[in-house]
Chains A and B, each alone.
Chain A
Amino acid sequence: QSVLTQPPSVSGAPGQRVTISCTGSNSNIGAPYDVQWYRRIPGTAPKLLIYANTNRPSGVPDRFSGSRSGTSASLAITGLQAEDEADYFCQSWDKKLSGSWVFGGGTTLTVL
């Protein structure tokens, strides 16, 4: 059971907009600690899409955007493309016990 909860799967048609939620608590996202988002295509290393809630690293297209509100965060992908089909993970710091970074359980995005 992950500390950060994500839906197991989402789907959308090419060109559509999808959002992936990440629900935490007052010990992590709601503390508030920053949220990162990663994409992992099976067989490849994860890629950082969003850091510090809303920021895109160099090279990440503006089709990807992040937000945080209260104890939750969201990743939005617009103009869905076939290449977006992958697993997406959120990540934050959790201050319980001695503190550690935690990942969400992951969401599989299917492009219909």
Chain B
Amino acid sequence: EVQLLESGGGLVQPGGSLRLSCGTFGFTFSSYAMHWVRQAPGKGLEWVSGISNSGAITYYADSVKGRFTISRDNSKNTLFLQMSSLSAEDTALYYCAKDLRPGRNYAELDCWGQGTQVTVSS
């Protein structure tokens, strides 16, 4: 069974940093592109970042470009999101999600974790 388990969320002050992790189980992690998607309180889904299966290609939403860095460790089946210069607008539930088809980076997100909450507040 495919499982995604996010961790690393918490309360952080404006301007601070946080590193999210997503441990994965039940599939060949190195074959699939992965993504981060967030949902702010009372708002819809917002795609944040994506990374190819090899890690060579990364994508970012304009709202986080230059502040967030996505990466992966295929030897440990783990996805990361390094977040810096955080502001209140980054407060959200952060999900990691897996692309449907191996080797493709189409953001057809067929499996999602339960999310980790990030709250930016002083």
Contacts and interface: CB of A to CB of B under 8 A. Distances in A.
B107 A46 contact: no
B1 interface: no
B32 to A, nearest CB: 14
Contact of A46 (B46, B60, B65, B112): B112
Contacts of B97: 46
B1 to A, nearest CB: 13
Interface residues of A, number: 27
Interface string A12-54: 0000000000000000000000101010100011111001100
A106 B45 contact: yes
B46 A103 contact: yes
Given A46-B97, A51-B110, 18 more contacts: A34-B106, A38-B45, A40-B45, A45-B114, A48-B100, A51-B106, A52-B108, A57-B100, A87-B44, A91-B47, A91-B109, A97-B62, A98-B65, A101-B50, A103-B44, A103-B45, A103-B47, A106-B45
